Amino acid sequence: MTTESVIETYDLAKHFRKIRAVDGISFRVEPGQIFGFLGPNGSGKTTTIGMLLGIITPTAGSFSLFGGRSEHASEIHAARQRIGATLESPNFYPYLSGRDNLRIVANVKGKTEKDIDHVLAVVGLSRRQKTRFKAFSLGMKQRLALAATILGDPELVILDEPANGLDPEGMREIRHIIAELSELGKTIFLSSHLLGEVERTCTHVAIIKEGKIVRQASVKEITSETTIAGLRGGESPETLKHFMEVYPGAVSARVEEDTVIVELADADLSTLNRFVADRGVYLSHLALRQRTLEDVFMEATGGGEGGMGEIAEIA
């Protein structure tokens, strides 16, 4: 028996005249997952979330939320009562205070003043609750949006770029809140372009490019598929790259400045070292690191070559 999904889409599509913003995507989010929804700007992330939240009408396909099908208005409306979400930038009444804005949300969600106190404390806005929204910094606006999102004690939290405008401390707090929500058993659907944040926070990811899902797996699975190595040695990097292209354990190879970046199917460095030595090349530098989500993202979206970043030198 399969568990009921929290979100499931079936060839969901949205076309704006000739533009296929979302082009028949299917994915599934299970209860308790922290699901990262990644993609370059304009790839269809917000449009997809907008369809799930009922503010954008799909052109084709369908979806279900907590088992309620999008074709049945009453089912989907009931399911949406179990969701807290913020889309793109925080949208509030600029002339109302932070607390009054939350009162508007609380009225809709049937929550009390005490609940407002609680979420203000969670996001650290208790002392600024009487300040008008228009006087908030971007970071405070993001916190207020997060407060509104979790106000209804939702089972599914959808966050679209929640770390936008936050300083490192603010981002750490958001990560902490997401982790706490996850511990409480909430399902979290997180759209973000901060790949490091997603890798640290999410359990599963889907990568969308030009309206299509190009990759979907658990973060663990996606980052442990291969290992990245940086090599230097021999007369030129091009020669080394040529050898790496024919090395049986290499998935891909490219040159970055004077270093050859190799994606390896396993981390058997002694075999690799012997392989190049047999061809008369002796490595002066060999560094290894785990494949990151950024590497996967760049490969999947064709967004350029990933840098070696935090290579841990082992030789």
User: In sequence order, what DSSP letters do the residues of 41-104 get, joined into one string?
Assistant: TTSSHHHHHHHHHTSS--SEEEEEETTEETT-HHHHHHHHTTEEEE-SS----TTSBHHHHHHH
State which of residues 105, 146, 166, 269 lies at the interface with other proteins (CB under 8 A). Answer: 105
Q: What is the Cα Rg of the chain in Å?
A: 23
Q: Supply the minimum distance, in Å, between the C-beta of residue 25 and other proteins.
A: 18
Do 101 and 109 form a contact (C-beta atoms < 8 A)? Answer: no
Do 234 and 258 form a contact (C-beta atoms < 8 A)? Answer: no
Tokens 């070559």 correspond to what residue?
305
Closer to other proteins by Cβ: residue 90 or 234: 90
Q: Which residues are bridge partners to 260 per DSSP? A: 231, 255
Q: Could you say whether residue 302 binds other proteins (CB under 8 A)? A: no
Closer to other proteins by Cβ: residue 115 or 294: 115
Q: Supply the minimum distance, in Å, between the C-beta of residue 39 and other proteins.
A: 19
Piece in contact with other proteins (CB under 8 A), picked from 92-100, 114-122, 171-179, 184-192: 92-100
Residue of 187, 177, 184, 182 lying closest to 142 (CA atoms):
177
Q: Supply the minimum distance, in Å, between the C-beta of residue 315 and other proteins.
A: 52
Site for other proteins in 16-45 (CB under 8 A): none
Closer to other proteins by Cβ: residue 59 or 218: 59
Site for other proteins in 187-216 (CB under 8 A): none
Q: Could you say whether residue 184 binds other proteins (CB under 8 A)? A: no
Piece in contact with other proteins (CB under 8 A), picked from 63-71, 108-116, 229-237, 254-262: 108-116
Residue of 180, 215, 225, 228 lying closest to 201 (CA atoms):
180
Contacts to other proteins by CB under 8 A: 50, 53-57, 77, 80-81, 85-87, 89, 91-96, 100, 103-105, 107-110, 148, 152
